Structure 1
């Protein structure tokens, strides 16, 4: 298992990214929260831990519910000095995330609304070529100083 002490990737700007592959199932959310909290502790960004853990929980729940993928990859990165990005990569590029209204009595369907409320911004990126994407990453960003 990747630990926060061993970065897996480094952005060209020198900003680290930690990532780990997990089974695509709801119980993975607990492991994802642990990884996020550990990484943020190393980076001394503990003040973002609750919001980042909530985002990761929702992204993992969506991947496990809406994709048939056996595995997902959780990423935690610093695309800049003032941004934290958490994301979930799956191999289902045809199932794109979209905000949709849940009925008052629905037991699910509010995950992206939670992400939208907590994150400064969120979105998705397709991986692979435009003609043949092999997967996507659904991500959300938090400001590391000031902001939401």
Structure 2
């Protein structure tokens, strides 16, 4: 299933108050329930907020991918701050974002440039 209307690209500042609106924009663009896609976008942008700081400029790109998947890409200006998959202890309040992404995505990775990086993932269908 491909994203209706083609790709979606949003430029924004990574701040907590933008995340709910970002999830709504993704759902509206995809035309219906897309919980896994929304989760992936939220977690990747949340990592930017936590590790690079509030107000970091990001570009979110959503598009169809091979095999009916939906591809999520979040680009930020720091090629050095890479996401890490860790196992959070049961009583820890943080550290589960990439584990959640890893659990719902078919695959994920990081593409580094000289002055930016893109964290991406692919979710099967819309991840209803």
- TM class by shorter-chain length? 0.7 to 0.9
Write out per-residue CA displacement over residues 74-124 of structure 1, whole angstroms, 9 at most, x where no aligned residue.
110113361210121100100111101222221111000000111111111
User: Deviation of residue 31 (structure 1)?
Assistant: 1.9
Q: Which aligned runs of 4 or more in structure 1 are off by greater than 4 angstroms?
A: none
Pairs within 5 Å for 1:105-120: 105-120=91-106
C-alpha distance after superposition, 1:58-82 (max 9, x if no partner): 1111111111462111110113361
Q: Which of the two has higher C-alpha Rg?
A: 1
Q: Which residue number corresponds to residue 17 of structure 1?
A: 7
**Residue-pair matches, total:** 125
Matches within 5 A, 1:25-104: 25-41=15-31, 46-47=32-33, 49-68=34-53, 70-80=56-66, 82-104=68-90
Higher-helix-fraction structure: 2
Normalised to the residue count of structure 2, the TM-score between the two structures is: 0.85
Instruction: Report which structure shows greater RCO (CA 8 Å, sep ≥6).
Output: 2
Over aligned residues, Cα RMSD in angstroms?
A: 2.4
Q: Distance in 2 between matches of 1:17 and 1:141?
A: 14
